[in-house]
Amino acid sequence: MKTLMKIYLDDERQAPKGWVRTSDARSTINILKRGLVSHLSLDHDLGEETGIGYPIGCGYDVLLWIEEQVHTNPDFILPEIKIHTANPSARTKMELGLKSIKKHWKKNAST
């Protein structure tokens, strides 16, 4: 039986007790690929360079990957997702992305 983790993506803040901290998008996605995540909390800004083409990426990159999985991978298990970024414009963008993910997830679950 797999042990599920609570993942806290942030390059500066410490993870809350009981959570595992990751500091970049790629390592977070790699853990998600293994189906080991029950809860996910996302920061947006991770260092100075952002974008999936960079080593660090950003929290929104993780949401984009999750959105792709929800649309294309019927075996993907959606973790409970929260956004804890302090970046107001990124928070809005991420919340809209999360809303879209949840809407599509519910649609797939009901069919």
Q: Which residues of the chain have pLDDT under 70?
A: 1, 48-56, 106-111
**How much is the pTM?**
0.86
Give yes or no for a contact between 22 and 28, defined as CB atoms under 8 angstroms apart.
Answer: yes
CB within 8 Å of 109: residues ≥ 6 apart: none
pLDDT in tens, 62-92: 999 999 999 999 889 899 999 999 999 999 9
Q: Which DSSP string corresponds to 77-96?
A: -PPEEEE----HHHHHHHHH
Q: How many domains does the chain have?
A: 1
- By residue range, what is the domain housing residue 79? 5-110
Dist CA 41 CA 79 (whole Å): 10
Residues whose CB falls within 8 Å of the CB of residue 101, separated by 6 or more in sequence, listed in order: 63, 66, 67, 70, 78, 81
Q: Give the type of residue at 23.
A: S
